[in-house]
Amino acid sequence: MKIYNKNAREAHLMAEAYTRIYTEAVNGNDIDLTNDPSAQQVQKKAIPLQFRIAEQPETIQTKEGPVKAPVGAYIMTGTKGENWPIPADKFKETYDIIDDQHAAKKPLPVPAKQMQEDFFVTVSWSPDKLNGKPGDWLVQYGPGDYGVVGAGIFDETYDTL
């Protein structure tokens, strides 16, 4: 009986957390970092990262939440073993392929802001949401194209310009 109560309590706490995120959190898609005076220009370091190409539709468990990856999407593996999908056209536009398993981000300056509250963004090419917490970074890759980067990963993989 205790196991059931523990699992029920954990499920209840998880439901409360999701409710809080989607009712109290800031929608990062509503922030135009190109006009935000508190945003900084940053650039991802050209760190070689491993990638693979999705051979069938799949859901990638990113650090910020699950994201659907269609066939042909590039699935990146970051410096901490984290994964995220990128549509094929966006990958080719923003990454330099090093070999058949590795690529590095092209030097593309983008605005970013370290957030002080819970926030979320909707991925530009799907309805999936990424969740951020205080201290994480909101990054605007282009008009309507946002991402969430954890503070520790941001410090390791981005340069402030």
| Other residues' Cβ atoms within 10 Å of the Cβ of residue 37 | 5
Per residue in 81-107, pLDDT (tens digit) is 999 999 999 999 999 999 999 999 999
Cα dihedral 84, 85, 91, 96, rounded to 10, equals 40
pLDDT of the residue at 46: 96
Q: In what order do the strands lie in the sheet with 110-114?
A: 145-149, 137-142, 110-114, 40-44, 158-160
* Residue 127 pLDDT exceeds 80: yes
Higher pLDDT, 17 or 46: 46
Question: What is the secondary structure of 57-112 as a DSSP string?
Answer: -EEEEETTEEEEE-TT-EEEE-TTS-EEEE-HHHHHHHEEEEETTEEEE----EEE
pLDDT of the residue at 25: 86
Distance CA 69, CA 89 (A): 13
Distance CA 110, CA 43 (A): 6
Percent of the chain's residues with pLDDT above 70: 86
